[in-house]
A and B are shown apart, each in its own frame.
Chain A
């Protein structure tokens, strides 16, 4: 079955602009999480959505937002881009589990460069 699909793979934006990234989870997965990866900070959790509701949020400013649609596809938006927002943005989906999430399946990521 198809894996987690993120689009676009690469993006170049100018400071002050906004950007929207898209993530299609594995079929049947209802939980989608977003992460930011930079050389300095490593992989950091942004937020997690389940059934169109944000369940958890990491320590990022309000410029970072997201949403999830009824088909579980998710988008994240970054407004007023800063140079420091240049990063690999990763999306992960997780299967339903009685105990909670078990494992996360990551996409290939979107490489965002802010100039």
Chain B
């Protein structure tokens, strides 16, 4: 079973920040939080990952709570092309034993 809980769907207005929450209350000390997204009919795309510090790259920011039991992926200025299913995954090796995908959050960006 996936070790994460995400809302099944979310809406966000184009141009606004999209904040996607993820609960991972049973995360272990050596497990990272990874985010991937899957645009319809394409393969998943890596977005970002982190251990305990907040992380930022050209795509998104990842905010991890101090107790590491939850995190938030932030897309700062959502566009229509960000409409996708977003998966939050906890993993100690980045996929060596296979990534465990849950059902993810279907993010819909509204014009």
Listed in ascending order, the chain A residues whose CB lies under 8 Å from chain B are 4, 31, 33, 35, 42-48, 55-56, 58, 90, 92, 94, 97, 99-109
Contact = CB atoms under 8 A, between A and B. Distances in A.
Contacts of B36: 104
Contacts of B102: 42
Given A56-B97, A104-B44, A109-B43, 18 more contacts: A4-B43, A35-B98, A44-B101, A45-B99, A45-B100, A46-B98, A48-B98, A56-B96, A90-B44, A92-B43, A92-B95, A101-B93, A101-B96, A102-B94, A103-B49, A103-B94, A105-B46, A106-B43
Contacts, number: 71
Contacts of B98: 33, 35, 45-48, 56, 58
B98 to A, nearest CB: 3
A31 B98 CA distance: 11
B56 to A, nearest CB: 16
